[in-house]
Chain A
Amino acid sequence: MSEAVIRVVGLGKSYTTAAGLFPALKAVDLAIDAGEFVAIMGPSGSGKSTFMNLLGCLDTPTHGDYFLVGRNVAQLNKDQLAVLRNRTIGFVFQGFNLLPRMTLEDNVALPLVYAGVDRAARRARARQELARVGLADYATSLPSRISGGQQQRVAIARALINSPPLILADEPTGNLDSQTSEEIMALFAGLNRQGITLVLVTHENDIAAHAQRQVRFRDGLIVSDQPTPADKNAPILVGKDLPAPADEDVRC
């Protein structure tokens, strides 16, 4: 196989709470190779969100090492992490997180502003990415003018604009109906076929079924890591893994 895009060794994160030190993530070892499509699953409080924040360089671990495309990022400072987020990772959120006052084109181009790309090039690239997700005609619309599914497509276009090797999606279909969800997942699958590594957090099994590999978290540890069964409809659930109805740390 090719070089691992993500490799974590003994990665953990503890929070200081009133009750003392709380280990949200204990010690996780995981490697994700380039071109993989991985679903991260687990109930509320299992540590999967903490894990995603660490993968996304939004947070720094209290112990362990995290190699992103071969580079140990555990020791980087905030600005170095910001540059890494800008160049290496594309984010897709449950709540789309588009800026409401900007046109879709400007929303998609925003990462390029922080990368220091000039205006003309930003515009051209943004149009190109919008076309890639099938929204070329809406370049100058505002996010409030389009549907949720379309907004998520725009968010994906924004995630793609810096051509990152890795896309992290946190419950990307959580706010969408099932048909739109399927469309978004088909879009993700297509991107994966183009060689982009995808890591997706979800608690829905039929969404996770689009991935090639499913990693389950419980109590800050990985409890299972296996390829997706060939039969999409095969029940792979045990009772305690049923999706939590209201996942407090997922809704942004």
Chain B
Amino acid sequence: MLKAMLGEAWRAMGANRLRTVLTMLGMVIGVGSVVLMLAIGQGAQYAVAQTISTMGSNLYILISGSTSTSGLRSGGGGGPTLTVADGEAISELDGVANVAPVHQGTQQLVYGANNWNSTVVGTTPNYLEARAWTLISGYPFGDSDVRSATRVALIGQTAVDNLFGSDDPLGKTIRIRQSPFVIVGVLGRKGQNLDGRDQDDTVIIPLTTAQRKVFGTPFVGSVRLMMVQATSAEAMPVVEKNLTALLRQRHRIREDQENDFYLRNLAAAADSAAETTRVMSMLLGAIASVSLLVGGIGIMNIMLVSVTERTREIGIRMAIGARQRDILTQFLLEALMISVAGCLIGLLLGIGGALLTNALTNMVIVISGTSVLVAFGVAAAVGVFFGYYPAHRAAGLDPIEALRHQ
């Protein structure tokens, strides 16, 4: 019986093609815009997630406290109060995966006739792991390089482009502040960070080498900045508490004194960026849903007209034995068919529009199976929801009245 009714619904749709197509158009536009907006929104989310993952996950940045000299106060990171020994103690804590003390600054790099100003990062081998940074060629330096302050360097892609052009930098020697450094590894490309800074414009060298040969600090073994990576997001609150207690103890800070360091949670910043795009993507979806709603109302409108027009037909069907639920099913199927057909066309248009957007603007587009399924489910629900009232009205007609209807 359902098969026969599907056939009839198909025939009813074909009977007034222009009207069916126009009704469907509401659904087409609704579903199309939902799919397109979700694709753009999820693309933005994906792009942000990518950027965040390049920073490294579950990261804390530990910054030394400010100093005060004759009334002149430095900002955070002003005094070299964090020591490498502090870092080693922190790495013993439960839930800490990596600790990397960092001494960084900008320096002029020279290779042959080229020179380039770039960020020089002096750190320990853990840094690469904390930042989830991989090498595309060569090897990272090891702890022995840090101990003996060897002049080796890992070079980022932007620095490679500017100093070496198309040459292979591996094994070449560059000069940083008159000291020669051998390039032992080339870093993979990371792109911009959340501030828009180019993370690839960098050279990484051992911490000891940086302090002794490049920057020349009177406080060797002390740093202003440390990266601390927790083993998981769940471990972060515990790490924060224990790390604070440990440093207060090591720095002999009395109960009533403030910390002489700052602990910044990078995950929080990342979360807020992700949250922003999530809200934006939801907003886009919500706006698009309004057009889906309008499409649904269009279906309801046309179905009501159709029921009125076909009152007599309904009367005939009832006279020859159609039960109320048969009439209800028939009109519900028609509404469902229009919305599902509109949904299919809308899906194709939406996906096509998303691909076109991607081709024209290079915007990141993500078409997920979930969003397609959701759009489809919503369209079917719209068909049933907005088709139910007209169908119910048709089924509730009095057979005698319906038969007399002109």
Contacts and interface: CB of A to CB of B under 8 A. Distances in A.
B317 interface: yes
Interface of A is mostly: helix
A113 B319 contact: no
Interface residues of B, number: 24
Given A58-B319, A82-B323, A91-B319, A113 B404 contact: no
Contacts of A111: 320-321
Contacts of A216: none
Interface stretch (A2-10, A27-35, A97-105): A97-105
Nearest to A49: B400
B94 interface: no
A74 B72 CA distance: 103
Nearest to B396: A78
B320 A110 contact: yes
Given A58-B399, A79-B323, A82-B318, A113 B11 contact: no
Contact of A252 (B11, B318, B323, B404): B404
Interface of B is mostly: helix
Contacts of A115: 321
Nearest to B405: A252
Given A97-B403, A101-B15, A119-B4, A87 B321 contact: yes
Contacts of B12: 101
Interface in A100-130: 101-102, 110-111, 113-116, 119, 122
Contacts of A97: 312, 316, 319, 403
Contacts of A114: 1, 317, 320-323, 326
Contacts of B147: none
A113 B316 CA distance: 14
Nearest to A252: B403
Interface in A17-34: none
B15 A85 contact: no
B403 A83 contact: no
Contacts of A83: 321, 323
Given A113-B4, A252-B404, A99 B320 contact: no
Nearest to B1: A116
A59 interface: yes
A245 B321 CA distance: 32
A197 interface: no
Contacts of B5: 113
Nearest to B14: A101
Interface of B: 1, 3-5, 11-12, 15, 312-313, 316-326, 399-400, 403-404
Give the top 7 A-B pairs by smallest Cβ distance, nearest first: A86-B321, A82-B323, A114-B321, A111-B320, A79-B323, A58-B399, A97-B316
